[in-house]
């Protein structure tokens, strides 16, 4: 598959739809205009890649809906060179959006099959996250902490303490919390012990899997 003028046109329209839905961060909208989402999907979904919908990516997982990716990305308030941890690499689309925002990205995937596939895809496409890790996102990545922000892209039944602990002061954790349905939750670290919490509407994610070991 290639990236063509037609695909770019569809991405511009998608960015307009996201703007209508309340995504106002220009850098995020520009990232949506830039990242060729159709290349992150199975070719049979190519025609649907620029609809504002989630799609299956194998291993029972989905690539998040563009609105959700944009909404979470906007909440992170990424600045160039920020150190960002992503839990749930999946297709790598969210990773690519963070890279477009010029973040230094560390991303963790729990499923070996997806980890391998997406890692290869990053190499093929020339996307360069700092690290792509096969591991358990509940633990975060203590050896690289602290982070400017952490994004969880699967539904967490509870907020894992290690993720809060791995934020810089002023750092932001964006995490959908809940089982059947999730409340998008933002934590901002105010000091070593204080966190400000905001709940920002309901979403639906695949579950953040608990450790199989």
Q: Which residues from 135-154 bind ligand SAH, rule CB under 6 A?
A: 136-138, 153-154
Distance in Å, CB of 192 to ligand SAH, minimum = 26
64 catalytic per annotation: yes
Q: Cα–Cα distance between 206 and 152 in angstroms, integer?
A: 11
Q: Are 103 and 83 in contact (CB under 8 A)?
A: yes
Q: 69-84 burial string, b = 16+ CB within 10 Å, else e?
A: bbbbbbbbbbeeebbb
| Cis ω for the linkage preceding 167 (within 30 of 0) | no
Segment near ligand SAH (CB under 6 A), from 2-10, 11-19, 104-112, 121-129?
A: 104-112
Distance in Å, CB of 89 to ligand SAH, minimum = 6
Of these, 15, 103, 105, 114, which contacts ligand SAH (CB under 6 A)? 114
Q: Cα–Cα distance between 79 and 27 in angstroms, integer?
A: 10
Of these, 31, 87, 163, 188, which contacts ligand SAH (CB under 6 A)? 87
Sign of the four-CA dihedral 116, 149, 28, 102 = negative
Find the catalytic residue in 43, 44, 64, 73: 64
| Contacting residues toward ligand SAH, per CB under 6 A | 61-64, 87-88, 90-91, 93-94, 108-111, 114, 136-138, 153-154, 206, 208-209
Catalytic residue ranges: 64
């Amino acid at each position: 598959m290639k990236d063509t003028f037609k695909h770019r046109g569809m991405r511009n329209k998608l960015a307009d739809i996201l703007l209508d839905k309340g995504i106002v961060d220009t850098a995020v909208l520009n990232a949506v205009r830039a990242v060729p989402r159709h290349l992150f999907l199975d070719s049979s979904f190519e025609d649907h890649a620029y609809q504002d919908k989630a799609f299956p990516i194998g291993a029972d997982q989905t690539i998040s809906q563009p609105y959700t990716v944009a909404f979470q990305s906007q909440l992170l308030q990424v600045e160039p060179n920020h150190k960002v941890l992503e839990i749930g690499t999946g297709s790598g689309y969210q990773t690519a959006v963070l890279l477009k925002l010029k973040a230094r990205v560390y991303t963790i995937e729990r499923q070996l099959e997806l980890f391998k596939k997406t890692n290869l895809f990053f190499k093929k496409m020339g996307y360069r996250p700092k690290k792509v890790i096969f591991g358990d996102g509940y633990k975060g990545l203590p050896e690289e902490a602290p982070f400017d922000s952490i994004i969880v892209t699967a539904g967490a039944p509870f907020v894992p303490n290690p993720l809060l602990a791995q934020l810089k002061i002023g750092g932001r954790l964006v995490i959908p919390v809940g089982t059947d349905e999730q409340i998008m939750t933002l934590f901002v670290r105010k000091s070593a012990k204080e966190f400000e919490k905001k709940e920002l509407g309901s979403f639906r994610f695949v579950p953040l899997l608990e450790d199989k070991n």
